[in-house]
Amino acid sequence: MIKRFAIWASSLGILCLASSFVAQPSRAQDEAKAEDAILILDASGSMWGQIDGINKIVIAKDVVEELVRSLPDDQRLGLVAYGHRRKGDCADIQTLSDVGGDRDDMIKEIRGLNPKGKTPLSDSVKYAAENLNYTKKAATVILVSDGIETCAPDPCELARLLEENGLDFTVHVVGFDVTVEERESLACIAEETGGEFLSADNAEELGNALTQVAAVSEPAPQPDAEPQEQPQEVALKATMFFNGPDIQSNLNWEVVPADGGDPVFTAEDAGYVDFEVLPGDYVVNVVWTGWPHDGDRYGGDKSGTKTFTVHPQRPAVVTVPIDLGIPVSLEADGEITQGDPINVTWSGPDDLGAYLTSNALDDGPRDQIYFSPAQRARNADDEKTDTNGDGEINQDDLANTQIGGPSIAGNYELRYVLADPRLILARVPVKVNPREITLNSPAEVIATTEFNVTWEGDMTDGDFLTIVPVGSEDVFTNGVTSRVTDGEASTLKAFAEAGEYEVRYIMTNGYTTYEGMQHQVLASAPLTLTDITAELSAADTAVGGSTISVDITPPEGTKWDDDTVSVVEVGATKTNSDARYTLYRIQEDDGRFSVRVPTIEGEYELIYVVNPGSRILTRRPITITRAKASVSAPSSAPAGTPIEVDYSGDAFGGDRILIVPAETPDERMWQWNANYGFGAKAGETSGTINGAYAAKEPGDYEIRYVTGLQHQVLARQPITITD
């Protein structure tokens, strides 16, 4: 059984209506007769799309405002919007007016909405349901969407959960200007909750669909009473062109009957205006005296006119476009291939700060894939001429330039956009056709090995090949790329991990922050990487800081010169910077390499790491013992005099005997070099510290034996430096 909520409704967005109260301060209010409602408006970026030349958000705001104005005074209403503040943020859901809030404030919020972000349908419905306390009270949601969910939650699964947990929860869905695929996705929300799904392809169908699911009814006539028409509320707004911003001041309004007669309403020097008038057909004329570029050649008053109908029992919201009288000529390539620039010919008010932009069809006026300041592009056109024959070469004449084309095949627009106020003055369609590329890549290679890939097709500058895990959402892998050259094979090095991958041909377009446009996958081929092994053999124990011999059997069939051997703590997943050696840097003798181990004693592992990928192929345990050392020196010495020191130790590379202030922390010994003592040398047992440099001031000091690797203190003796 399909349930309906008896209220007049016509909106583009989401309307949540429930016969319950939300966040009531008292039980008495909860038992009141007035019904609560939450209105959620879709203000996602797709609302910039057009129907019959009008942005869907413009239609939405007018129709929703009519809804708000039509509600009875005792109908408590709240307002929520999503996608209106931030791009790419699925959490952009905001309450703009609390339930029972002031209607005028709500209308102000509706008029101020501008689409920007994503479409979190599921979270928005859940948000409304929870605010309506759907688990304890009956709740109905009317969802009108111009697209499918663009965030993570599955709307069908969410609808099932809400239906299971709700006391009496229903969602009716109207798909507005949606594809067959989108209709299927939206319909399941209604089906899972016992609601109704309807589709609408224009504003009239949208109104009819909402009327049906909302069970709109006309007031019953009084018996034996003559029907009398009642004045209805009319709200007038003016915008710059059809889809520009609202004009909120310096407007002179006049409304007359469509068949002629005296004005039924006038207002001067106004912005938004409201009045009441009997049902019928009317014409509204408006003059704007506040055009900001008054005084230039585009100055003067601007005007607009529109015919509208006032219906019985129904408020009207009328938006009148103001013609700014700015001539613009715009032509562009009707079709291009992915990655090719768009050739553009235009004339227009470049001196007002205009831009030429390439755009997706549902981009807002501040969005662009690529852009060029029109005046700069005109100045750079060395071949511009007096195309209009007025004897001058200026912005009234045609100029030519190129704008970056989209890298994804599909339908787009080339626009001429005024900077301030931000207005789209002209637009022409551009179709982007696929660029055909064919890859020839081996189906299977050994992990870490290099292999060649050839390709066929029409390349663009900057194209490259890459390897990614199969199905990766990342377009390419940093560090695993190879530039393509016309007529030549490209070489790639496989990952270290065996598994299933893809070789991809990536087209690089010009720099842009527009999502998905700078790099595009033109072709891909499956790639299986087979596994590899390596072997290590070395002593089970070693003295800290010493150099040991390691027998290495690197992976077969691969280049191993960038692989590394390292001594790491047990279980470590990364190499140790104090004991890490790339194979090309260490000496080889029939597979035997020399590796220096850490100085700090403990349990370690010797690992073989294959690159790229930093995969540990094998590991074996090794115990590091503490190196032994001693120092012997006088207990005191005069400041600035030589100090003789006897010592013992392995004298590994970098070991040194130093004199330092006694309070010097051991962990800071990396700051003290051999200038404060002398280097330990194999076969020697004594040395002299230059006191004139290292011990010039009286005080308490220590003689220390410090290792070259990791700067560990192996031995120490106190010494007093006297005056």
Q: Give the CATH number, domain containing residue 240.
A: 2.60.40
Residues 76 and 169 in one domain: yes
Residues 378 and 243 in one domain: no
Residues 179 and 298 in one domain: no
Q: Of 625, 640, 671, which marks where a domain is finished? A: 625
Query: In the predicted model, what is the mean pLDDT of residues 177-186?
Result: 85
322 located within any domain: no
**pLDDT tens figures, 129-155:** 888 888 888 777 777 788 888 887 788
User: Tokens 């006088």 label which residue?
Assistant: 634
Structure-model confidence comparison of residues 128 and 104, the more confident one: 104
Residues 426 and 491 in one domain: no
Asked if 151 contacts 82 with a C-beta cutoff of 8 angstroms, the reply is: no
Phi then psi dihedrals of residue 186, to 5 deg: -75, -35
Q: Of 285, 316, 347, which marks where a domain is finished? A: 316
223 located within any domain: no
What is the distance between the alpha carbons of residues 75 and 673, in angstroms, rounded to a whole number? 82
**pLDDT tens figures, 194-250:** 888 888 777 777 667 666 665 544 555 555 555 678 999 999 999 998 888 899 999
Phi then psi dihedrals of residue 248, to 5 deg: -115, 10
Asked if 604 contacts 546 with a C-beta cutoff of 8 angstroms, the reply is: no
225 located within any domain: no
CATH of the domain at 59: 3.40.50.410
226 located within any domain: no
- What DSSP designation does 648 have? E
Residues 160 and 178 in one domain: yes
What is the distance between the alpha carbons of residues 204 and 121, in angstroms, rounded to a whole number? 23
Helix (H) or strand (E) holding 330: strand 329-332
Residues 101 and 64 in one domain: yes
**pLDDT tens figures, 312-332:** 988 999 999 998 888 999 999
Residue 455: which of 476, 435, 426, 469 has the closest Cα? 435
β-pairing, 699-706 vs 656-661, is antiparallel
Report the DSSP beta bridge partners of residue 719: 701
- pLDDT of amino acid 627: 97
Structure-model confidence comparison of residues 55 and 411, the more confident one: 411
Q: Of 525, 545, 573, which marks where a domain is finished? A: 525
pLDDT band at 128 (very low <50, low <70, confident <90, very high): confident
1 located within any domain: no
104 located within any domain: yes
**pLDDT tens figures, 32-52:** 334 566 777 888 988 888 888
Could you count the other beta carbons within 10 Å of the beta carbon of residue 280? 16
Residues 458 and 578 in one domain: no
How many residues would you count in the chain? 723
Residues 391 and 489 in one domain: no
- pLDDT of amino acid 586: 63
Residues 123 and 207 in one domain: yes
pLDDT band at 448 (very low <50, low <70, confident <90, very high): confident
Domain housing 500: 438-525
56 located within any domain: yes
CATH of the domain at 334: 2.60.40.10
CATH of the domain at 557: 2.60.40.1930
Domain count, the chain: 6
Residues 68 and 117 in one domain: yes
Residues 482 and 601 in one domain: no
Q: Residue 567, SS3?
A: strand
162 located within any domain: yes
Residues 512 and 544 in one domain: no
